[in-house]
Amino acid sequence: MRRLLILEDGTIFEGEAFGAEIDVTGEIVFNTGMTGYQESITDQSYNGQILTFTYPLIGNYGINRDDYESIQPTCKGVVVSERARLASNWRNQMSLDEFLKAKNIPGISGIDTRALTKIIRQHGTMKATLTDKLNDSMDHLRDQLRATVLATNNIEQVSTKTPYPAPGIGKNIVLVDFGLKHSILREFSKRDCNVTVVPYNTTAEEILTLNPDGVMLSNGPGNPEDVPEALEMIRGIQGKIPIFGICMGHQLFSLANGAKTYKMTFGHRGFNHAVREIATGRVDFTSQNHGFAVDRDTLPECLIITHEEINDKSVEGVRHRDFPAFSVQFHPDAAPGPHDASYLFDEFLEMIEAYQTELARG
């Protein structure tokens, strides 16, 4: 069956349908990763987006039980150049086509993803529609697309509604869920932490009653300015408890301290992004998935830039001058991607230990 991909600028691609048989509209973005399509599709940071993979062959190792970053993905659709007809891997449980059908997500293959990526890089991310209505008026379909207003409550859609535990015997961590990846939980589990996951709109008072040793601000989708309640929460806990923010958590931490954010032309999505630690000159290759960034020129005196992206010099990490709190724009948990920066979880726990030692000394 044939399927259309229609872009907001009027460009139309025709390809082969796979996955669910439904029409969807969302923001179209591209991911430059060569592997890890299951982790990417199930990453809640893609909520509301149509995900294009630049790597030419997707689906060759199928879907397995180990690589979920969430159980119910909320991306709108998947665009690939070529979909593998046969999945070959000892962990394979189902094909990509079967998985997308089960999750009610449409896909399209046979698309010139290189041409599509060039359009997005030139004009920026834009709205797009996947549709099977090949016989409808193209002008009508374009008008419908342009008239569509995309949701702005992305974090509300993906955050847990009730708190839940990920038990351990080590440090007590409260993880604020803005659309977390399961790999963050895995990293804390490796370090024996006792984690309590709470909704995005949990107040500072509610967090402090849990008596945490530290607070993690997770990744998540959308515009950080759409969750002002999170800024109040961050202001209410910083200085009282160590904080570590990742991706959306980094942007919210920066906003809470007076910085501003901006929408990038096409964002960073992939795991080949080189990031330099300013203090040491160390370069890590990092996993990233974000369309907004912290504006360097608006950073307040209380925040120090710790990391920057080598290619575009965007802010990739900050640390508070006075409080035990820091954040990074990239994903030290990877999944998919290199684990160069996983040491940051250890630095967070070391920060907690140092803070508690200082408190004990009075």
Q: Please indicate if the annotation marks 222 as binding a ligand.
A: yes
Please identify which of the residues 75, 268, 331, 340 carries the catalytic annotation: 331
Pairing between strand 49-53 and 77-79? Answer: parallel
The secondary structure of residue 166, as a DSSP letter, is E
The alpha carbon of residue 219 and the mean position of all alpha carbons in its chain are separated, in whole angstroms, by 5
Query: Exposed (0-12), middle (13-18) or buried (19+): which is 15, by Cβ within 10 Å?
Result: buried
Q: Please indicate if the annotation marks 289 as binding a ligand.
A: yes
* Residue whose structure tokens are 């967070």: 348
Please identify which of the residues 97, 284, 333, 340 carries the catalytic annotation: 333
Shortest CA distance to 259 belongs to which of 330, 204, 314?
314
Per the annotation, the verdict on 193 as an active-site residue is: no
Instruction: Give the full edge-to-edge strand order of the sheet including 164-166.
Output: 164-166, 194-198, 172-176, 214-217, 243-246, 325-328, 315-320, 303-309, 261-277, 283-294
Instruction: Give CA–CA dist 154/150, Å, rounded.
Output: 10
Instruction: Give CA–CA dist 101/20, Å, rounded.
Output: 4
Q: Please indicate if the annotation marks 60 as binding a ligand.
A: no
Q: Please indicate if the annotation marks 157 as binding a ligand.
A: no
Q: Please indicate if the annotation marks 251 as binding a ligand.
A: yes
Q: Please indicate if the annotation marks 288 as binding a ligand.
A: no
Residue 238: both structure tokens together: 């910083």
Reduced to 3 states (helix: H, G, I; strand: E, B; else coil), residue 253 is helix
Per the annotation, the verdict on 182 as an active-site residue is: no
Instruction: Give CA–CA dist 272/36, Å, rounded.
Output: 12
Please identify which of the residues 247, 268, 284, 307 carries the catalytic annotation: 247
Instruction: Give CA–CA dist 348/187, Å, rounded.
Output: 12
Cis link prior to 336 (omega < 30° from 0)?
yes
Tally of CA atoms within 13 A in the half-sphere of 226 that contains its CB: 15
Shortest CA distance to 27 belongs to which of 252, 255, 216, 269?
269
Per the annotation, the verdict on 302 as an active-site residue is: no
Q: In the chain, what's the furthest Cα-to-Cα distance?
A: 75
Numbered residues of the known binding site: 45, 220, 222, 248, 251, 289, 291-292
Q: Output the known binding site for L-glutamine.
A: 45, 220, 222, 248, 251, 289, 291-292
Residues that are catalytic: 247, 331, 333
